[in-house]
Amino acid sequence: MKKSKKVLVLLGSPRRKGNSAVLAGAIAAGARAAGAAVETLYLHGLTIAPCKACMACRKPRSKGCSIDDDMQPIYRKMLKADAWVLASPVYWFTLSAQLKLWMDRCFALPAYGKDPFAGRRIALALAYGGEDPFDSGCVNALRTFQDAYRYAGAEIVGMVYGSALEAGDIKANRALMKEARALGRKLPATAG
């Protein structure tokens, strides 16, 4: 029997039903339809401290990050997943503080597993309030992910992004929702 792929969805919005969460939900639905097991983590409200640059995670025989907070179980979940879905609203021309805290703390991930980014497949979901992905900052956020994961050796399988301001408004963009579900179906099909 074939083992099902695992997809971890990380929601970086303070709104549980915000537009980036809706897009991530459509990706997750597509992944489930493709046979993946999906787990979703809502980062807002978790205790995730900023990296303190102590370098404890990079020392020989490191036991991991020196900060004991909610990132500890997240590290384990990340390593067990074949693919990650990263979702964020665009705030002040880039990704949300919630997702950026998580991303900064991924600096310690190599202390938990050898080459933890290698072969990892990533899908991105972003929502912005402006009319244009360039002047809204959406492109800045996308570049942050592209540059980071190219450097780390992970693969961005695809991205969906769109304009919507009020929570849930993105659902009206049927073409984008269809694209998000298609990305979700593609994500586990080639993961691992």
Distances 71 to 40, 158, 185 between C-alpha atoms, Å: 14, 25, 28
User: Whole-prediction pTM value?
Assistant: 0.94
Question: Architecture of domain 23-189 in CATH?
Answer: 3-Layer(aba) Sandwich (3.40)
Instruction: Retrieve residue 90's tokens.
Output: 């665009």
Going by C-alpha positions, the residue among 36, 25, 3, 8 that lies closest to residue 185 is 36
Averaged pLDDT, 108-136: 92
Q: What's the one-letter identity of residue 89? A: P
Counting runs of H as helices and runs of E as strands, what totals does the chain give?
5, 6
Q: Is 90 helix (H, G, I), strand (E, B) or coil?
A: strand
How sure is the predictor about 2, in pLDDT bands with cuts at 50, 70 and 90?
low
Q: Which pLDDT belongs to residue 135?
A: 84
Q: Which pLDDT belongs to residue 74?
A: 97
- pLDDT digits 0-9 by tens, 155-191: 999 999 999 999 999 999 999 999 999 999 999 875 5
Q: Which pLDDT belongs to residue 190?
A: 59
Averaged pLDDT, 138-152: 93
Position 6 pLDDT exceeds 80: yes
Going by C-alpha positions, the residue among 122, 185, 128, 189 that lies closest to residue 158 is 122
Q: Which pLDDT belongs to residue 191?
A: 53
Give domain limits for the chain.
23-189
Q: Which helix (H) or strand (E) holds 187?
A: helix 174-189
Averaged pLDDT, 131-146: 90
Q: Are strands 6-11 and 83-91 parallel, antiparallel or unpaired?
A: parallel
CB atoms within 10 A of CB 152: 17
Averaged pLDDT, 1-28: 93
- pLDDT digits 0-9 by tens, 57-103: 999 989 899 999 999 999 999 999 999 999 999 999 999 999 999 99
Position 3 pLDDT exceeds 80: no
Distance of alpha carbon 99 from alpha carbon 144, whole angstroms? 12
Q: Which pLDDT belongs to residue 101?
A: 97
- pLDDT digits 0-9 by tens, 121-133: 999 999 999 888 8
